[in-house]
Amino acid sequence: MKHLIPLRFLEKGQNFSVCMTVMTLLIFSSAAQALPAGLIPSPPQVAANGYILIDAISGEILAEKNADHKLPPASLTKMMTAYLVTAELANNSITGDDMVTISEKAWRMKGSLMFIEVGEKITVSDLLHGVIIVSGNDASVALSEYLAGSEGAFVQMMNSTAELFGMTNTHFMNASGWPEKNHYSSARDLSLLARHVINDHPEYYSIYAEKEFQYGVNKRTGKPLDSQANRNILLFVNPSVDGIKTGYSNEAGHCLVVSSEREGRRLITVVMGARSERSRASETQKLLTYGFRFFNNVKVKKGGVVLERVRVWKGAKDELPVGLVKDLVVTVPRGKESDVQASMLIDQDIVAPVVTGQKLGVVKVMLDDQIISEAPLVALESIEDGGFFEQLWDSIVHFFIGLFS
């Protein structure tokens, strides 16, 4: 398969050596010699102020450095802006066809732009594409004002959502990522946000893979303006990459959050504070190569199915099905998949009433005598209190079992 890079990258100052560097990395990674099972080298050296590599399904961290350092995120901020828009779309609070009137504040934004005009009416869908694909600061402000009435109110929504997601080293001051004091995030926090972007509203995630976006017409000629290319160069040279966001400012340096899916696995990388566009792309590809080359996933237990039936005392029913809320997946070094072991520890004294989702035990996953993951076992249905005679009989039986045990 050929992956062509539009000439407009070169016309707009994009460095073609980025593409050559990344393609070289791809060629050499595919030709790497097999290592003995379970032998994993140290993570690659990455030239950035902070970075992280995680498996998007298991959440396992495969490599990190300065992942909790508070750093300026630049336009990586727009991941949260876009997330909140897609959340409102998914909740049917707004529609993609809603018309947004562009304010003077949005129109006056500098930096990367969608090039919208003050007083113009633009659909939410077009503005969302402008945020995600061409990183429009103007589109970000316009959407923030439409959703919350003002950018300031929208920022409160951003910070509340960050807190909900456990992004403990993040604080937003605006919707675009424009440099501002007390506006920061971290590589780990942005990887958490990336998982939500991918998983929570999958019907909108495909926008992040779109390579270009065309909006507007030339007012003199009436002809459509040229398309703007997505600034994520890896979309053009690595077919497994399908997002997510670039960022740059003098304070932040060159930043990149990438998601890549291959053979049923998905990795997320966050690179913050790289030296150049070339560097953020090549350093990201190093991490992707390492993660796909040396690790694999194991589905330990399936979620939503009955894993065990346990005795319930004093209930309307004697047995209760227990299981996991979702699939339990672990990421392990390649060659160690068959060494993964799991055990279930279930409460032995379960008394009604029991509600669906109530924690009743845990699944522990072991590798080489080490616990590598745990997941709660929960009730898969509710059981109410039994009648008077059921409770009386179970009380007697329960008493004698406890006495002799």
Residue from 58, 112, 135, 144 carrying the catalytic annotation: 135
Residue from 58, 78, 186, 260 carrying the catalytic annotation: 78
Q: Which of 330, 331, 340, 337 is nearest to 369 (CA)?
A: 340
* Other C-beta atoms lying within 10 Å of the C-beta of residue 73: 29
Question: 253-262 and 265-274: which strand pairing?
Answer: antiparallel
Tokens 């079992």 correspond to what residue?
401
For the question of residue 75 being annotated catalytic, the response is yes
* Residue 231 token pair: 């600034």
Residue from 75, 176, 186, 282 carrying the catalytic annotation: 75
* Other C-beta atoms lying within 10 Å of the C-beta of residue 236: 20
Integer CA distances (angstroms), 83 to 137, 284, 316, in order: 15, 23, 44
For the question of residue 150 being annotated catalytic, the response is no
Q: Is 74 helix (H, G, I), strand (E, B) or coil?
A: helix
* Residue 251 token pair: 């304070």
* Residue 299 token pair: 């589905």
Note if the bond before 244 is cis, omega within 30 degrees.
Answer: yes
Assess contact for 327 and 299: CB atoms under 8 A.
Answer: yes
Integer CA distances (angstroms), 403 to 303, 349, 396, 398, 399, in order: 36, 14, 11, 9, 6
Note if the bond before 72 is cis, omega within 30 degrees.
Answer: no
* Other C-beta atoms lying within 10 Å of the C-beta of residue 114: 26
For the question of residue 78 being annotated catalytic, the response is yes
Q: Which residues are catalytic?
A: 75, 78, 135
